[in-house]
Amino acid sequence: MMKKIPWSGYVTLLVLIILFVASSMPYEEQSLKPGLSRYVNLDFVEQLRFISFDYNGEVSVAALGASGFVEFFIRKAAHVSIFIVLGIALIDLTIRLVRPVPLAAVFAYTLAITIAVFDEFHQILTGGRTGLIHDVLLDGTGALIGILFYLLIWKKRPNHQPVRST
């Protein structure tokens, strides 16, 4: 008898496909700058000229321009967001298979970091892209947020059952 695949298995597979497709695209195909410049009023960005930091190069309005500066934060928010979702899915999957729960959490986090490393490596193989340890750290932060969020909700459930979709 075959077991039913939990919702988290499908979500994990979907995230892996999204990561693979996104990492396969050269930067030029993913750039948001033309659309931001054309469709979004970026006058507010001039108020952020005081922000400047290093993230594999200078990140500032002066260095990137208004659209590049906004795009940087959108892209990094995407890293964190997709790995929050992946962290939730991975902890749900591992909690079903591994006990005690802290061990499941460590396994899920380690798996998320491994996926992040392979994703960045895949980007190195793609023209016009680079793989950054900074992005792995960002991805790991997102996964950790997702795992902790899931565990907070999971602890409040009767009998600590994995969260099920209805």
Give tens-digit pLDDT for 126-151.
Answer: 888 889 999 999 999 999 999 999 99
2 is a domain residue = no
15 is a domain residue = no
Range(s) of the domain holding residue 83: 33-157
95 is a domain residue = yes
Specify the long-range contacts of residues 45-53, CB closer than 8 Å, at least 24 apart. Answer: 45/69, 45/70
104 is a domain residue = yes
60 is a domain residue = yes
Q: Mapping DSSP to helix (H, G, I), strand (E, B) and coil, where does residue 20 land?
A: helix
71 is a domain residue = yes
Per the CB < 8 A criterion, the answer to whether 61 and 51 are in contact is yes
143 is a domain residue = yes
Q: What is the pLDDT of residues 54-107, one digit of tens each?
A: 999 999 999 999 999 999 999 999 999 999 999 999 999 999 988 899 999 999
Q: How many CB atoms lie within 10 A of CB 123?
A: 21
Task: Report how many domains make up the chain.
Answer: 1
What percentage of the chain carries pLDDT values higher than 90?
Answer: 73
16 is a domain residue = no
**pLDDT at residue 154 tops 50:** yes
